[in-house]
Copies of this chain bind each other. A is one copy, B any other.
Amino acid sequence: MSAMNAFYAQSGGVTAVINASACGVIETARKHRNKIANVYAGRNGIIGALTEDMIDTGRESARTIRALRHTPGGAFGSARYKLRSIEDNLAEYERLIEVFRAHDIGYFFYNGGNDSMDTAHKVSLISKRMGFPVTCLGIPKTVDNDLPITDNCPGFGSVAKYVAVSTREAALDVLSMAKTSTKVFVLEVMGRHAGWIAAAGGLAGSEPEDAPHIILFPEVPFNKRAFLKRVRECVRNYDYCVIVVSEGASYANGKFLAEAGTRDAFGHAQLGGVAPVVANMVRESLGYKYHYAVADYLQRSARHIASKVDVEQAYAVGRAAVQFALQGKTAVMPVIKRTSDSPYRWKIESAPLSRIANKEKMLPKRYITKDGFGITAAARRYLEPLIRGEDYPPYVNGLPQYVKLRNVAVAPKLKTKFVV
């Protein structure tokens, strides 16, 4: 078989290390030009394939591709775009295969979360059915850490580190001021459905007096009375109280805490997230002065404080995807298998996309303390290795030097337009 091209696309919310996976894919492909002629990347993810707007990564120097390893965001553009079921939207799948066929694309690397694994799986099936079998590989990426089978998911370790470090730092600030000023600090973190990121905040401290004193998980129905009681206890015993709250924290009836807030003159739901709601609850009931921070995108783009383990794993799953493809594997995703907690050891295996697609891995109950406000020793054993090591980007004049690609388009070959 003569060499075919590969198509690589980023999907969904980006992370501090998704480009490290892209780097792993492209660098590994470049070592096997006899099988993979070139890597095309989708401009704005899968949309780039559908609209035949692909980026020629062959036009980027080895040095530029290497710099992807330390550059956050999605270098080719990502997209929140889910292909519907084959029954509902066969035309979209057919278009994809048509573009792949026109550009001799025999390999499809899809870097994303559950939805993307579903898409990659379907493309694998339909390409065969259409007589142009494409080797389809998923590459795991999500800050939410909610992919099944893989022990953890690239992207999570760096958010986890950011949240743990930030919690530890802000706590020192609050404690210094607690005598005459702020006593309660709330940090809002991502994770609408699963509390992995909130749990990582727990790594900031290890003793009862250490922050965070309270974690509010989406998995634990919010109990206002128990919460306020704990806040009061913390302020009494430790002079201050630091709370890490997941954006997905909700009441027993499933209603998000963030929805419980104020409405503006137009009746729109309140503008803030969950942090101001929780902080205000404390002020109204206990009268303590508060501050809150909303980390939002800062947490998932903070490449400057990325976890070294995370960067290495992100690169490794990109590299492994290419290696698996070259071994003839298809419809699989590289997964991280932990072989030892201490010392932490891991290796890459492969798992069928069908077992990963559309499944969510929730935070296990045994990772949450009985009172619902903290993490257990088992959670620490799991989480700690994932934030280990620093992998600083290069700096010039005080700022990290992130690479900007040329992103030259591949000349279109089809005469048809496709509107997404």
Contact = CB atoms under 8 A, between A and B. Distances in A.
B399 A387 contact: yes
**How many copies of this chain does the complex contain?**
2
A390 to B, nearest CB: 6
Contacts of A16: 169
The A interface, classified by DSSP as helix, strand, loop or mixed, is mixed
A389 B398 contact: yes
A400 to B, nearest CB: 6
A397 B390 contact: no
Interface in A290-320: 291-298, 300-305, 307, 309
A302 B166 contact: yes
17 contacts: A44-B179, A74-B176, A169-B303, A170-B297, A182-B297, A185-B297, A204-B399, A262-B262, A262-B263, A262-B270, A268-B280, A270-B271, A293-B294, A309-B398, A390-B392, A390-B395, A392-B392
A271 B264 contact: no
A371 interface: no
A177 interface: yes
Interface of A: 10, 13-14, 16, 44-45, 47, 71-75, 77-81, 161, 164-166, 168-182, 185, 187, 203-204, 261-266, 268, 270-272, 275-277, 279-280, 284, 291-298, 300-305, 307, 309, 384, 387-390, 392, 395, 397-400, 402
B402 A168 contact: yes
Contacts of A178: 77
A404 to B, nearest CB: 9
A296 B302 contact: no
Nearest to A383: B398
A305 B304 contact: yes
Given A74-B176, A271-B270, A387 B398 contact: yes
